[in-house]
Amino acid sequence: MRIVVVGGGVLGTMHAWQAVRRGHDVVHLEREREARGASVRNFGLVWVGGRAGGDELRTAVRARELWERIGAEVPGVGFRPAGSLTVCRNADELAVAEAALALPDATERGLKVLGPAEARGLNPALRGTFEAALWCERDGAVESRVALPALRGALAASGRYTWMPGREVRDLLAGGTTGVRDDHGDRHHADLVLLCPGANLTGLVRELEPAAPVRRVRLQMMQTDPLGEALPTAVADGDSFRYYPAYQGPELDRLVAARPQDAVPAEHKMQLLMVQRLDGSLTIGDTHEYAEPFAFDVVSDPYDHLAHVAEELLGRPLPAIRRRWAGVYAQTTENGDPIVHRGEVAPGTWLVTGPGGRGMTCSPAIAEDTAERAGF
């Protein structure tokens, strides 16, 4: 088949990967000169432990397997099976962690509660004071800023992949012909079109599905200079229990009631996530903003809070902050909270968007599922 993929983020790139691996020819269009959205403005975390049970966990576990395979084939994506430690600093957070061990799929998630000494055995950089940590062995990480060019390089080596950046798709071809027309006036005929627009939900996407059940979410993050020592695992604080569905239950309800977040993390719906890049720097976040229109600037209070919590867990000052940024991702709002919004919006044309904060984690398996459903 000849397949046109629209959207150069991780979801579009993984659909191109699936198509080429299945023997098809791919033309890959992206409106920017390089992907600039949430796919490169994230932690690069492959986050399995906190996912909702059922289809979401199945998708995350499968995606983790695929990321490991892809990482072995394309070392430039920077995959490493780092695991994660969610640090519990009080008895209420520890109760949530211990309750997670009773989940019927706890083993599949790779969950284990560790004491401080055991946790530091996995991550000696955690010199702060804490009660325990929830170890999620199945979590991993990739290098989000360089993974997409590395994947495209491997795809180009197949001889069946064409990358065409700087081209915004304006409309579908008329007259019963499958394909798209871009803003250069070029027509790209295809047997199948896959639209993976990320958070760009206007223009053609709105025309094709004006009431798509997808919302946009804004977040703020930052990156430090190199830490000067290894941070072998990803690290989260106990506030992250509030934002991942696996931890919902009476123990979390008691935590929320007994220990409401301080004003800044509550206002910005914050958790601490921290992962080390291959150059030794730390990516730290994040916030969540749901009501549009979003602000165009970033605010300092969340960064101050994140730095304070990170320094408490590390027991040392952070290196200088090198970068601060905001990003926007698309999140499905369909009933039942499916992993992604996906469907055929015109004959031979599929729309796939809205994985939310699961995009980097789940995109390989989402693309695999699309291939099965769309028949390529």
For position 90, what pLDDT does the model report?
97
Q: Is the pLDDT of residue 264 over 90?
A: yes
The secondary structure of 38-53 as a DSSP string is TTTSS--EE--TTSPT
For position 371, what pLDDT does the model report?
98
Report the distance separating Cα 359 and Cα 39, nearest Å: 8
Domain 1-77+142-213+336-376 CATH class label: alpha beta
| pLDDT above 90: percentage of residues in the chain | 99
For position 335, what pLDDT does the model report?
79
Structure confidence by residue, pLDDT tens digits, 9-57: 999 999 999 999 999 999 999 999 999 999 999 999 999 999 999 999 9
Report the distance separating Cα 239 and Cα 252, nearest Å: 10
Segment 229-251 shows an average pLDDT of 97
Report the distance separating Cα 238 and Cα 334, nearest Å: 28
Q: Is the pLDDT of residue 336 over 90?
A: no
Domain boundaries, the chain: 1-77+142-213+336-376
Q: Under a CB-based contact definition with an 8 Å cutoff, are residues 366 and 341 in contact?
A: no
Structure confidence by residue, pLDDT tens digits, 50-61: 999 999 999 999
Looking at residue 145, its amino acid is R
Q: Under a CB-based contact definition with an 8 Å cutoff, are residues 230 and 314 in contact?
A: no
Structure confidence by residue, pLDDT tens digits, 80-136: 999 999 999 999 999 999 999 999 999 999 999 999 999 999 999 999 999 999 999
Structure confidence by residue, pLDDT tens digits, 76-87: 999 999 999 999
Encoding tokens for residue 8?
A: 């150069």
Report the distance separating Cα 368 and Cα 363, nearest Å: 9
For position 307, what pLDDT does the model report?
98
Global pTM value: 0.97
For position 249, what pLDDT does the model report?
97
| pLDDT above 70: percentage of residues in the chain | 100
Structure confidence by residue, pLDDT tens digits, 188-213: 999 999 999 999 999 999 999 999 99
Q: Distance of CA 146 to CAs 33, 40, 45, 151, 324, Å?
A: 14, 8, 14, 9, 18
Q: For strand 2-6 and strand 192-195, is the pairing parallel, antiparallel, or unpaired?
A: parallel
Looking at residue 159, its amino acid is G
Report the distance separating Cα 43 and Cα 66, nearest Å: 18
- Phi, psi (5° rounding) for residue 186? -80, 145
Segment 337-351 shows an average pLDDT of 95
Q: How many CB atoms lie within 10 A of CB 129?
A: 11
Mean pLDDT over all residues of the chain?
97
pLDDT bin (cut points 50, 70, 90) of residue 328 is: very high
For position 356, what pLDDT does the model report?
94
Structure confidence by residue, pLDDT tens digits, 289-311: 999 999 999 999 999 999 999 99
**Residue 61, SS3 per DSSP:** helix
Q: Strand pairing partners for 86?
A: 134, 236
Q: Is the pLDDT of residue 337 over 80?
A: no
Report the distance separating Cα 230 and Cα 4, nearest Å: 42
Residue pointed to by tokens 């934002």? 243
**Residue 21, SS3 per DSSP:** helix
Q: Under a CB-based contact definition with an 8 Å cutoff, are residues 132 and 158 in contact?
A: no
Q: Distance of CA 79 to CAs 139, 151, 305, 373, Å?
A: 11, 12, 29, 28
Of 17, 19, 81, 86, give the one whose Cα is nearest residue 50.
Answer: 86
Rounded to 10°, the helix 91-100/250-258 angle is 170
Segment 266-294 shows an average pLDDT of 97
CA atoms within 13 A on the CB side of 191: 10
